[in-house]
Amino acid sequence: MRPVRSTPLLRILEDAVLAGRSKGESHLARLLPQMEAPGVLVVDFQGIEVLTTSYFFAALWPFWTRENAVGPSIFPLVANAGSEIKEEISFAMRHRKMATWGGRFDGADFECDEWLGVVDEGLDRALKEAVRGRGLNAVELSQLDGAKPTAWNNRLASAHRQRLLWREQSGRRNTYYAPWKLSLIHISEPTRQAEI
């Protein structure tokens, strides 16, 4: 079982106004240690008053782009953000044609409220199932709506690359989960792909 880690931005940065690219670039050094360990990471906006898109891309975007040898290594969740901050994150995510999970974090548990940004049509059904705690796979989803398993496999793989779904590989079968459910279910270490 893996605990959900958190990054309380106000405590780490000691600044409630996260505005401007230059400030974002200077804050990035303080945030980099938070990106070292792979897994689920709650980015806690409690107490943050202002966030601009330029700051977001300079300092926080690396949480959504960090990868290791097997793909995405950090699965960030946005927590305790005010409506204006959520709007700014949604704008940034839409700009990159992506989405991220938003919700509340009490220091131990993440409770999902919504996703911020844009989700491909058709994937929303799978994400709602993932929020309920179900493991998802392409074959089961194809039986629900008649789409081919290959189409679902591509959608789920895309959601994994966006950090919306955690992927567990077992042989040729991939099962996907909402990232914060990792503390509630057993997930094995990602399997390294053989080098060709």
Tens digit of each residue's pLDDT (9 = 90 or more) over 22-68: 999 999 999 999 988 888 999 999 999 999 999 999 999 999 988 87
Q: Is the pLDDT of residue 80 over 70?
A: yes
> Strand, coil or helix: what is 23?
helix
Helix (H) or strand (E) holding 144: helix 138-145
% of the chain with per-residue pLDDT over 70: 90
Is residue 186 very low, low, confident or very high in pLDDT (cuts 50, 70, 90)? very low
CB neighbour list of residue 32: distance below 8 Å, 6 or more residues apart: 62
Is residue 145 very low, low, confident or very high in pLDDT (cuts 50, 70, 90)? confident
% of the chain with per-residue pLDDT over 90: 55
CB neighbour list of residue 121: distance below 8 Å, 6 or more residues apart: none
d(CA 188, CA 196): 23
Is residue 3 very low, low, confident or very high in pLDDT (cuts 50, 70, 90)? low
pLDDT value of position 185: 39
CB 163 within 8 A of CB 117: no
Strand partners, 169: 174
Distance of CA 190 to the CA centre of its chain: 16
d(CA 41, CA 30): 16
pLDDT value of position 37: 85
